[in-house]
Chains A and B, each alone.
Chain A
Amino acid sequence: MRSVAWLATYAALVLAPLLVSAATSGASSATFAVAFGAALGWAALGLLASEFALVTRVRAAAAAFGSDALLLFHRGMALSALVFVVVHAALLAPDPLAAWRSGALGRSGVVATAALLGLVASTIARRRLPWSYEAWLLAHRVLAVVVVAAMSAHAWSALAPDETAARWIAALYGALALGLLASQRLLRPWLLSRQPWEVVEVRDEGASTHTLVLRSTSGGAMAFAPGQFVWLATARRGGFAQEHPISIASSPELDSGRTIELAIKELGDWSREVAPALRPGDRVRVDGPFGAFTPDRVAAHRLVLIAGGVGVTPMRSMLLAMRDRGDRRPVTLFFAAHDRSRAMFAHEFETLRGQIDLELVFVFEAPDAGERCERGRVTADLLRRRLPADLRFTHFFVCGPTPMMEAVEEALCELGVPSARMHTERFDMV
């Protein structure tokens, strides 16, 4: 029901400009094609202003759908808005040069369309372009502001002075979008930086992984569900910078949430240089928790956790929570890695076998001689061999590199596992 309520709210937000303009403008002598083009423009205004709401990190919305799902939906809506804008322009002003020369109305439309094209194209081609993630993110936000401002000005210009309600909708949506952006990028970071978390320990876990142990400086606790993540911002000269999503690796019961552990594997510039350089006493900014990837929200009699590489960190949180809560449900962890040296927390998981009803299955591509494990990858055959035949009331949690997750999802489909009992979290959100 929670997700239905959020969907209804989002739909109302998107539809409002279109419906208000229809109600206030009334009958038109224009052709259907021209009226449709104008209506698509209003629909695009609602879509694009609402894009900011999808990525504003409202915890309740992220909990209902998952942050990675919201981001994927955000991309889908941007593509849809682009199609609407292109058709709108084709129907009302197919010659961009003539539109530019016609005055404020045409120029604002051309600017909004060009900025939107640039924004979508740069996102699609992000990994192929020679720029850092931070540079792309800055350009993305600047272009988004240009799109919204130009689009609102364009809508305002297209309306007669006596079309007051529609004009105010155009202005309000522009202000709403920019307000959401300012709230997320300026106000929220400022508020969070006043309650930083302190690094109390940095543990080398091997396998190119470090665990940051963080404690709240305000004395407050983070109430999170096992499997959720936070956005971690590390300080740089001049202020906090470089936010990254990191799964919480500790139990929610640890120090009643006043202490959390984040396991960071060296994968990119930040995780190789900035994170390992943190020292006890350093202050960081933590925003969260977020995510729907948690067994706390499902009624499962059995849990199957399938992890690849650093994807095991949310599973660690889940297993430690089961231990701390005395949860005796059977749980199977399939942990895939190249070999034992790259399987972080392997020894800890082996210890947990005596504390909870845990079946531990290591799946190594290149195991050491004499290693007791499955060889290769997680496949449908492997799952069929190691799991009971009756998988009713069993929920599956999958996290790891995208190719591995796609292969495991296919394998689970082969086993007849419905998508409602398959839970995934993708780290490569953008």
Chain B
Amino acid sequence: MHPRDVRTAAAIFALALAGAAAAVAWWSTGSQVDAPGSAEPAAPIDGGEAFARHCERCHARDEFTGALTGPDASQAVEELLELLQDHGASTPEEDRAIADWLRGPAQQH
């Protein structure tokens, strides 16, 4: 095969694979890539369940409760939310629910 043909085949294969990944992502998220406002209102999120699903593999609850219930709790909550934005697969709603749950039962919605 001519090198040009091999490179073309490789590019096509890679693009097709990326397309397959996008299709899987679109299917699994129920096409959340659609325009904002088209989603139905979300049910309340259980912060404990969200923590178990996204965080428990690597972290324990008591790693965070000290900072989140101490004198600088509100600052700590903002820092935690900022960290969660870039870390892991949780949604912003789940991040807030996790933060509330970590702060204790009295803070949960």
Residue positions of A touching B, CB distance < 8 A: 11, 14-15, 18-19, 21-22, 25-32, 34-36, 38-40, 42-43, 46-47, 65-66, 69, 72-73, 76-77, 80, 83-84, 92-95, 98-99, 102-105, 157, 160, 292, 409, 419, 422, 424, 426
CB nearest to B11 among chain A residues: A76
B26: chain A residues at CB < 8 Å are 32, 35
Tell me whether chain A's interface is mostly helix, strand or loop, or mixed.
helix
- A46 to B3, alpha carbons, bound, how many Å? 24
Q: Specify which chain B residues have a CB less than 8 angstroms from the CB of A11 in the assembled complex.
A: 13
* CA A292 to CA B58, docked complex, whole Å: 51
What are 20 A-B contacts with C-beta separation under 8 Å?
A14-B17, A21-B24, A26-B28, A28-B89, A32-B32, A34-B89, A35-B24, A42-B21, A43-B20, A47-B17, A69-B6, A72-B6, A76-B7, A76-B10, A77-B13, A98-B83, A98-B86, A103-B58, A160-B57, A292-B1
Contacts of A65 in B (CB 8 A): 1
| Bound complex: CA A98 to CA B20 (Å) | 29
Given A34-B89, A80-B10, A104-B58, A15 contacting B20 (CB threshold 8 A): yes
In the complex, what residues of B have CB within 8 A of residue A76's CB? 6-7, 10-11, 14
Bound Cα distance A99, B9 (Å): 35
Q: B22's closest neighbor in chain A, by CB?
A: A36
Q: B25 to chain A: which residues have CB within 8 Å? A: 32, 35-36, 38-39
**Quick check: A36 and B86 within 8 Å, CB to CB?**
no
Contact bitstring B79-109, A, C-beta under 8 A = 1, else 0: 0000100111111001000000000000000
Residue contact A29 to B91, C-beta cutoff 8 Å:
yes
A72-B7, A76-B10 known; A30+B17 contact, CB < 8 A:
no
Give the residue name and chain of the B residue nearest to A66 (CB): B1
* Size of interface on B: residues with Cβ below 8 Å to A: 38
Closest approach, in angstroms, between the C-beta of B83 and any C-beta of chain A? Answer: 7
B1-59 residues at the A interface, CB under 8 angstroms? 1-3, 5-7, 9-11, 13-14, 17-18, 20-22, 24-33, 53, 57-59
Q: Are A422 and B87 in contact (CB under 8 A)?
A: no
B89 near A38 (CB under 8 angstroms)? yes
Whose C-beta in chain A lies nearest to the C-beta of B2? Answer: A419
Contact A39:B91 (CB < 8 A) given known A31-B32, A69-B1, A73-B6? no
B94 CB, min distance to chain A CBs, angstroms? 7
Question: Within 8 Å CB of A103, what residues of B?
Answer: 58-59
